[in-house]
Amino acid sequence: MEKFEPVIVAFCCHYCAYTAADMAGSQRLPYPTNVKVIQVPCSCKVDALHIVKAFEKGADGVYVAGCLEGDCHFKNGNEKAARRVEYVQKYLDEIGIESERLEMVMMSAGMGYRFAQVATEITEKIRKLGPSPIKTATAL
């Protein structure tokens, strides 16, 4: 079997994780190319539909990266995003997609190292889980 390279979609808040990704770049910190970063104005901008569509279109894992607790540029968008992620995790279970494939993470703009670490950890976790059941079913 061909080596499985997971496709991971990372919705990154402009005020923290997206800037942290830049920071990781300027610090020359490597992270897996499996992670496809999508910049959003706030983690709360990420709708349940965006996440579900990502899985439908072939993502093996998705994570939403928002600001640290209490640090949201828009007051509490990150908390709302976390609740939404929890809601979608339950929906994924109903569909038959392991909810571990979706995660909410928090970091600040200065945490370049954490960005790279999270990207690596999630990629490895999804690699262990294997291809998403949707991808497998589509390939049949």
Partner 1 sequence: MITAERKPLEELIEYIKPFKRILLLGCNECVTVCSAGGRKEVGLLASGLQMAMLKSGNNIEIRQHTLERQCDPEYVEELVPMINDADAVMSMACGCGVQEIAMRFKDKPVFPAVNTTFMGASERQGVWAERCQGCGNCLLGETGGICPIARCAKQLMNGPCGGSVTGKCEISDDVDCAWQLIWDRLKSLGLEERYMEITPAKDWRSGGGSGPRKIIREDLAE
Tell me which residues touch partner 1 (CB under 8 A): 47-49, 52-53, 55-56, 91, 94-97, 133-134, 137-138, 140
What minimum distance in Å lies between the beta carbon of 135 and partner 1? 10
What minimum distance in Å lies between the beta carbon of 119 and partner 1? 25
Strands 61-66, 35-40: pairing is unpaired
Judged by CB, which is closer to partner 1: 70, or 96?
Answer: 96
Q: Count each helix (H run) and each strand (E run) in the chain, helices first.
A: 5, 4
Judged by CB, which is closer to partner 1: 18, or 55?
Answer: 55
Q: Can you give the C-alpha Rg of the chain in angstroms?
A: 15
Decide: 20 and 115 in contact? Cβ < 8 Å. Answer: yes
What minimum distance in Å lies between the beta carbon of 72 and partner 1? 16
Judged by CB, which is closer to partner 1: 77, or 112?
Answer: 77
What minimum distance in Å lies between the beta carbon of 122 and partner 1? 21
